[in-house]
Amino acid sequence: MFSLSSPFSLILILLLFFSFSASASASADPSTIYDHLHLHGLPIGLLPKNITNFSVDSATGRFQVFLDQPCNAKFENEVHYDLNVSGVLSYGQIAELAGISSQELFLWFPVKGIRLDLSTSGVIHFDVGVVDKQFSLSLFESPPDCTAADPVDQSSAAGGAPVHRYGAFSKNEVQNLPLEDSELRATS
């Protein structure tokens, strides 16, 4: 029979206590980027399902997400995710966001930040530079399905040049592509 006063019993109790403490703290560590979003008070549907890898610096909140391919998701507007998405997480917001664009009418705008409206329940803001877009929080309850995006959107941009969607250029940069010989002959 064990006695709580014996040294063996005390050591056994301490070992059990520390093993439960270690397993509880290990389970509290976020294992997915969606867990990190949730811990920062953000909806998990801000990022799509096709994430292959991610990294988060817990000291600074800086994160990077890697997708299997650039893709588009539909909320109220079309949203484009580049191959890599990065930003800085803090409670209720993502700052310094790169790799997400939102379509408004026929134009694409980079989303520079996302924040919850803490005073008004149910609203999330997308900072697209010139405009602050408001969406219902309910649109982002679960990670969206994301369809593969064309590498180059041939829709008309400034000057009629294609808008490059990934690679060395952001989706919103208009490329001054050299004209091919056939195009030069046709205009001469």
Domain enclosing residue 80, as ranges? 29-148
Flag whether 175 is in a domain.
no
Regions of the chain short of the pLDDT cut 70: 1-29, 120, 151-188
Q: What pLDDT score was predicted for residue 28?
A: 57
Please give the model's pTM, rounded to 2 decimal places. Answer: 0.67
Q: What pLDDT score was predicted for residue 163?
A: 45
Q: What pLDDT score was predicted for residue 129?
A: 84
Flag whether 117 is in a domain.
yes
Residues 135 and 104: beta-carbon distance below 8 Å: no
Residues 49 and 24: beta-carbon distance below 8 Å: no
- For the CA atoms of 156, 82, 174, 96, what is the dihedral angle to 10 degrees? 120
Flag whether 75 is in a domain.
yes
CATH of the domain at 107: 2.30.240.10
Q: What pLDDT score was predicted for residue 59?
A: 94
Flag whether 156 is in a domain.
no
Give the number of domains in the chain: 1
Flag whether 17 is in a domain.
no
Q: What pLDDT score was predicted for residue 149?
A: 87
Flag whether 41 is in a domain.
yes
Q: Token pair of 129, please?
A: 């530079």
Q: What pLDDT score was predicted for residue 37?
A: 95
